[in-house]
Structure 1
Amino acid sequence: MNRRPLVIAAATVGVLATAALALPNLPPNPVTDTLNDRFFKEKGRHFATAADAPTRGDLAFVLPSWIPKDATDVRVRVRTTGDARLIRFTLGKTPLDGPQCAVSAPAKAGGPHLKARWWPGDTRAEERPECRGPHQYQVAVRGKKVYAWTDGTPSPGARIQDGKPTLAPASAVPAGRP
């Protein structure tokens, strides 16, 4: 009996299983970035400061307006097939002015749909909703580190156009609300 095909098949399965487990934990480089994008449908970027993040172009990495411009060590992980995002940054001198939802009660979110080595295990107890952008974020602050994530849920008051949430005009926000 020829066992060579079985050995080759077992070795191939072993290599693929090892790659599937190791790939998400390898440091970013062109190879892992390409494989993450193609197989896991995720991309990540790191910016020294929030001011270094793009303001146009690849909209996946444009930061929400409520993140202070002097924030440092900004890490973003996005799902390429949707609007899910993880964001982590360190506060500078400008404090985070507190997560808030101006229009109505935010929708309950399940949990982050992405994983990253720099994301803490559990932030559920500390999370508060942030709704000042087109997407509702859940935000947790631990000292100077801020962790924010969205699953793509539109903010209360956001309008959906062409399948994408946009901010409602200022006239749509009830008087007396920020």
Structure 2
Amino acid sequence: MNRRPLVIAAATVGVVATAAFALPNLPPNPLTDSINDQVFKEKSKHFATAADAPTRDGKAFALPSWVPKDATDIRIRVHSTGEARLIRFTLGATPLDGPQCAAGTPNDQGGRKLSAKWWPHGTRSEERPECRDFYQYQVAVRGKRVYAWTDGTPSPGAKTQDGSPAAPHARSRG
């Protein structure tokens, strides 16, 4: 019996299984970034300071307006096929003020659609809504570290670029 096809098949399965476990845990580099973008439809960036992040609307990695200007060690992960995003940053001298959701009742976003190695477990009970930007975020503060996420749900009272009220976010059921 010729065992060569079995050996090749076993080696292929081994390489694919190793890659599936190892690639998500490798540090960012062109290969892992490409795989995350093409396969998982996710992109990540790290900025040393808020000034290093892109400015305002239309940019995938632009910070929400409520992030203090002296924030540092900023990590952002975005879903490239939608508006879901995770943000982590360290507070500087400027404290993060209280939530601003005066325009209406915040929507229940259900839960995060993205994950990252730098996101801690068990933040759900600490999260509070933050609605000052176009998108409603859920924010948890642990000491000087701030964790925020959105699934792309517009903030209550948010307006589109033409000034009309934003339509509620259509959540996909997966």
1:155 aligned partner: 155
2:146 aligned partner: 146
CA RMSD in angstroms comes to 1.9
Tell me the TM-score normalized by structure 1.
0.86
1:33 aligned partner: 33
Name whichever of 80-89 and 14-23 sits farther off.
Answer: 14-23
Identity of aligned residues (%): 75
SS at 1:112 equivalent: coil
Matched residues in 1 for 2:46 and 2:60: separation? 13
* Unaligned segments of structure 2, at least 5 residues: 166-174
Aligned length: 165
Matched residues in 2 for 1:109 and 1:19: separation? 33
Taking a change above 3 Å as real, the CA distance of residues 58 and 39 of structure 1, as seen in their structure-2 partners, is farther
Give structure 1 regions of 4+ aligned residues with deviation exceeding 3 angstroms: 166-169
1:90 aligned partner: 90
Matched residues in 2 for 1:160 and 1:3: separation? 63
Matched residues in 1 for 2:58 and 2:155: separation? 21
Tell me the TM-score normalized by structure 2.
0.88
1:124 aligned partner: 124
Matched residues in 2 for 1:115 and 1:73: separation? 18
1:56 Cα offset (Å): 5.6
SS at 1:88 equivalent: strand
1:3 Cα offset (Å): 2.1
